[in-house]
Each structure stands twice: as structure tokens, then as C-alpha cells.
Amino acid sequence: MATKNNIPLIVAVLALAIVGYSFFSNSATGAQVVTPISASCMDTDGWDNTQQGTCTDIRGGVERTFTEQCLDINSPGEYYCTPSKTCQLRAMDCPFSQKCVAGACVPT
């Protein structure tokens, strides 16, 4: 008998849960939907250390551009695009008989 008496209580709890969910999931509550801004990245020379290139990334509406420079006489700093679409610097080595000038390996 106790089970039959609990059925109206269970139905009432379920009804309140459904009404509560529909009330709080309604956009009229003032909740804002945030649409992420897409990120992008462009490397002008790929992994070519014989050219001075640039890398530009855009995240959150902010654009940043990096120009490749020599880290030392034998090492250009090569910017590249990561999988997360940001520019990252990596030290490269010039081949034998080349040196770094203005961010690129050139024959000596």
C-alpha cells in the first residue's frame, strides 16, 4: 500500500524537475551564449630556412606577426604554425658552408 501512495509524489517531483529544467534552460534567464572566435596562423616560408619569413597568428581578434631573425651566425630562428594555430620559434642549423644573414641561411 505504501507504494501506491508514493506514485503521486514521484509524478509531482518529475513534473517539478521538467518545469525547472525548461525554466533555467530558457535564454530569457539572461545567460549569454559565447561563440569562440576562430584562430588562424600563416607561415610565409614553411620550414625553408633559406628565406627570411614571417609568421602571423590571430587569436581572440588579436593579430601578432613575427619576423625570422638569426639567433647566431649559424642558426636562424624559424617561426612555424603549431596545431593550435599559434606561431612558435624553433632554432634551426644552417648547412655546412652557409651562415645566417637576416634570418636566412646563405652561402658563405
List the domain boundaries for the chain. 40-107
The pTM (predicted TM-score) of the whole model is 0.62
How far apart CA 83 and CA 74 sit, in angstroms, is: 27
| Residues facing residue 65 across a β-bridge | 56
pLDDT in tens, 21-35: 554 554 454 555 444
CA atoms 4, 8, 13, 19: torsion sign? positive
Q: What is the pLDDT of residue 15?
A: 58
**Nearest alpha carbon to residue 51 among 36, 37, 68:** 68
